[in-house]
């Protein structure tokens, strides 16, 4: 049953898997890096004893590489306790030092093992009687995002779990109960489920479940009935992975921001093998990427140049090394790749290293080739992205480039700590603002369905709205197979306005009217120009911008946010539009024709 649950969760992506079961002899565990088939092979070679209580996990590496040793579960309390964990524990290093001082030892590089050893230490200190109370105490000590599951030899037929900023659902069966990161893990066995709230503990036995908060006070979860089939459950109830991943974006941005700054506002990268003094002395940044990742780099150019006052070039990886680019030891190469295996980008990074440049990777896949070969790494935490057309990885990449820009600005003294804290605070508000857009998605969906027969859509933007326009066009090309182009709005009169004809749909990403240097009036003039020539104007504007209404057939408002952060919001309605229009045309939005998720050949 546990292995079947893990198979149902394979769509989430993972790099290792493991199980632990409670038997009459104690805890037995098996774990293996790689695919679930590898774990099944290990279990076939070394069968587990009969058991009615078990936990299983598929790991997406954050702390420590994807090895057998780092795979979950992790054991503690002399092998009597097994723990699995989703999320990131921010203060693991501090806790680990305290536990080392007490004489505890560690076998892995993970934050999860720290949580396991901490729980075992507390369990013994509390008298070795109450696993639930011990997890309550441990959870209060932990910072970050985590779901923890624990079983102990002393408590057969019991699983205890803890949730903070990470999903956890209880499945209610007959004479059996379940825990899962989502309902697809137990959909074959029950459709009754309870969603846990923030900072809650749940203890399950075969015939009961009890929920408390971290201080032991009784609490309640939200019960619901799953009305999806097993296939739909893997997509979270959405019609496609792309739709699910669009709705994952508040979490993707929040998780990428998580744990990046300390109380003083100092930022950290995941791995830094470059002397900060060398980073401080760089004279130029070149961003290397392809497709959607290149548009994330284009957004980054505006922010990094503004915050750091360093010139930034954005290059398509496949063009970079064939034009004899000017690169030296004072150049920082920033590569952006969701998979970390994009061959064009990998070869460009290798070429840049040969020229003496410093290399930094922004990537969503821990342990992949490009991060391994780079001097520094900043991981996004968007989670696995299954749909070929990128959505949540794009927003996570933009978020990561902002973190990099703020890190460099702090290092070089371009921004004060207070300014960095203010920008981070604004970034911290973005997930809720994305959710506001998602809550109003029907406005965009209705528009998309009404335009299913259109054969061409144009997109206009200025400043950071320009790469948003190009990304909006790319999404439509990728999955709806219609002509779509993104233009800089100021370029309109230099040629593209010739494309405007009666009824031509034109999306316009309008800058905020706030601020001394606003380009708002110029873009409103562009709207008037294309409308006068018969265009159907579709506008993405900031809430409160009433000036655009009289010139637009359709207006979708996004929440107010600082100009440099606006792409994180303005992109979302364009993603929804492309997904819904392609769906209305009857296309497979997850696997569009002629495209692969990762381009691993040049």
The CATH number of 429-597 is 3.40.50.10490
Counting residues of the chain whose pLDDT is more than 90, the rounded percentage is 74
351-389 tens-digit pLDDT: 999 999 999 999 987 767 898 899 999 999 888 788 999
Q: What is the pLDDT of residue 556?
A: 97
For domain 238-427, the question of CATH label 3.40.50.10490 is answered with yes
What are the strands, taking DSSP E only, across 312-451?
A: 312-316, 331-337, 358-363, 376-379
Lowest-pLDDT range of 30-44, 138-152, 244-258, 358-372? 358-372
pLDDT for 335: 97
- Output the pTM of the full model: 0.80
Contact predicate 502/455, CB 8 Å: no
Domain boundaries, the chain: 2-234, 238-427, 429-597
What is the 8-class DSSP label of residue 100? H
Looking at residue 49, what is its pLDDT? 95
Banded model confidence at residue 225, pLDDT cuts 50, 70, 90: confident
**Residue at token pair 């590569």:** 335
Task: Classify residue 276 by burial, with Cβ atoms within 10 Å: 0-12, 13-18, 19+.
Answer: exposed
Spell out the long-range contacts of 180-186 with Cβ–Cβ below 8 A and sequence spacing 24 or more: 180/5, 180/9, 181/9, 181/12, 181/86, 181/147, 182/9, 182/233, 182/236, 183/226, 183/228, 183/233, 184/8, 184/9, 184/11, 184/230, 184/233, 184/234, 184/236, 185/5, 185/6, 185/8, 185/9, 186/5
- Flag whether pLDDT at 529 surpasses 70: yes
User: How high is the pLDDT of residue 426?
Assistant: 96
Q: How confident is the model at residue 11 (pLDDT cuts 50, 70, 90)?
A: low
Contact 482/454 with Cβ under 8 angstroms? yes
- List pLDDT tens digits, range 426-471: 999 999 999 999 999 999 999 999 999 999 999 999 999 999 999 9
Checking if the pLDDT of 282 tops 90, the result is: yes
Q: What's the pLDDT band for 601 if we cut at 50, 70, 90?
A: low
Q: Decide if 2-234 and 238-427 have a common fold.
A: no
With helix as H, strand as E and coil as C, how does 357-386 read?
Answer: CEEEEEECCCCCHHHHHCCEEEECCCCCCC
Q: What is the CATH number of domain 2-234?
A: 3.60.20.10
pLDDT at 513 over 80: yes
pLDDT at 532 over 60: yes
Burial class (CB in 10 A: 0-12, 13-18, 19+), 94: exposed
| Average pLDDT value for residue range 136-145 | 94
Strand ordering across the sheet containing 144-152: 74-76, 81-89, 144-152, 159-164, 200-205, 208-213
Mean pLDDT computed over 300-327: 94
Q: What's the whole-number mean pLDDT along residues 310-336?
A: 94
Q: Is the pLDDT reported for residue 113 higher than 60?
A: yes
Under 8 Å between Cβ of 177 and 149? no
Ranking 21-25, 345-349, 383-387, 561-565 by mean pLDDT, the lowest is 383-387
The answer to whether the peptide bond before residue 73 is cis (omega within 30 degrees of 0) is yes
Per-residue pLDDT band at 350 (split at 50, 70, 90): very high
447 is written with which tokens? 């528009």
Per residue in 404-418, pLDDT (tens digit) is: 999 999 999 999 989
Percent of the chain residues past pLDDT 70, beyond the cut: 97
Cβ neighbours for 499, distance < 8 A, ≥ 6 positions apart: 456, 458, 485
- On the question of pLDDT at 46 being above 80, the answer is yes
Q: Given a cut of 60, is residue 109 above it in pLDDT?
A: yes
Q: What is the DSSP string of 493-534?
A: GGTGGGG--TT-EEEEEPPPS-STT--HHHHHHHHHHHHHTT
Q: Give the pLDDT band (50/70/90) at residue 189.
A: very high
């Amino acid at each position: 049953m546990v292995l079947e649950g893990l198979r149902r969760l394979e769509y989430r992506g993972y790099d290792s898997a493991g199980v632990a079961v409670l038997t009459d002899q104690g805890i037995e565990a098996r774990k293996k890096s790689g695919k679930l088939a590898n774990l099944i092979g290990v279990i076939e070679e070394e069968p587990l004893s009969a058991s009615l209580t078990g936990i299983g996990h598929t790991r997406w590496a954050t702390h420590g590489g994807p090895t057998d040793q780092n795979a979950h579960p992790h054991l503690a309390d002399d092998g009597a306790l097994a723990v699995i964990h989703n999320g990131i524990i921010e203060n693991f290093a501090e806790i680990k030092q305290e536990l080392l001082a007490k004489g505890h030892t560690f076998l892995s590089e993970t934050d999860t093992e720290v949580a396991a050893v901490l729980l075992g230490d507390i369990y013994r200190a509390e008298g070795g009687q109450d696993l639930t109370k011990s997890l309550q105490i441990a959870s209060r000590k932990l910072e970050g995002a985590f779901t923890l599951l624990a079983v102990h030899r002393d408590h057969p037929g019991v699983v205890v779990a803890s949730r903070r900023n990470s999903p956890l659902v209880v499945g209610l069966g007959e004479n059996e109960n379940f825990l899962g990161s989502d309902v697809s893990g137990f959909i074959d066995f029950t459709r009754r489920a309870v969603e846990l709230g923030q900072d809650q503990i749940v203890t399950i036995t075969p015939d009961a479940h009890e929920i408390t908060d971290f201080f032991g006070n009784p609490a309640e979860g939200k019960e619901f009935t799953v009305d999806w089939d097993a296939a739909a459950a893997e997509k979270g109830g959405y019609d496609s992975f792309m739709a699910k991943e669009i709705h994952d974006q508040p979490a993707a941005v929040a998780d990428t921001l998580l744990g990046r700054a300390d109380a003083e506002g100092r930022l950290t990268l995941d791995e830094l093998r470059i002397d900060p003094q060398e980073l401080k002395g760089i004279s130029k940044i070149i961003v290397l990427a392809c497709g959607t990742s290149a548009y994330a780099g284009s957004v980054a150019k505006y922010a990094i140049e503004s915050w750091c006052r360093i010139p930034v070039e954005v290059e398509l990886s496949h063009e970079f090394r064939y034009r004899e680019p000017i690169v030296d030891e004072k150049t920082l190469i920033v590569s952006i790749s969701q998979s970390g295996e994009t061959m064009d980008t990998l070869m460009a990074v290798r070429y840049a290293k040969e020229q003496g440049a410093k290399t930094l990777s922004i990537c969503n896949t821990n342990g992949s080739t490009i991060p391994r070969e780079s001097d520094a790494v900043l991981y996004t935490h968007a989670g696995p992205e299954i749909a070929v057309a990128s959505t949540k990885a794009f927003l996570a990449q933009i978020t990561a480039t902002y973190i990099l820009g703020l890190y460099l600005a702090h290092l070089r003294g371009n921004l004060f700590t207070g300014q960095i804290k203010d920008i981070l605070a604004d970034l911290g508000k973005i997930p809720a603002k994305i959710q506001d857009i998602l809550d109003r998605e029907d406005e965009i969906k209705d528009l998309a369905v009404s335009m299913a027969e259109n054969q061409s859509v144009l997109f206009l933007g200025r400043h950071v709205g320009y790469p948003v326009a190009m990304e909006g066009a790319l999404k439509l090309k990728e999955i709806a197979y219609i002509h779509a182009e993104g233009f800089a709005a100021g370029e309109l009169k230099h040629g593209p306005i010739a494309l405007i004809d009666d009824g031509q749909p034109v999306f316009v990403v309008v800058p905020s009217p706030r601020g001394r240097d606003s380009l708002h009036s110029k873009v409103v003039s562009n709207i008037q120009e294309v409308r006068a020539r018969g265009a159907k104007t579709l506008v993405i504007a900031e809430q409160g911008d009433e000036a655009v209404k009289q010139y637009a057939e359709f207006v979708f408002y996004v929440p107010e946010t600082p100009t440099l952060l606006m792409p994180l919001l303005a992109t979302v309605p364009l993603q929804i539009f492309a997904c819904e229009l392609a769906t209305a045309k009857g296309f497979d939005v997850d696997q569009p024709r002629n495209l692969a998720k990762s381009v691993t050949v040049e």
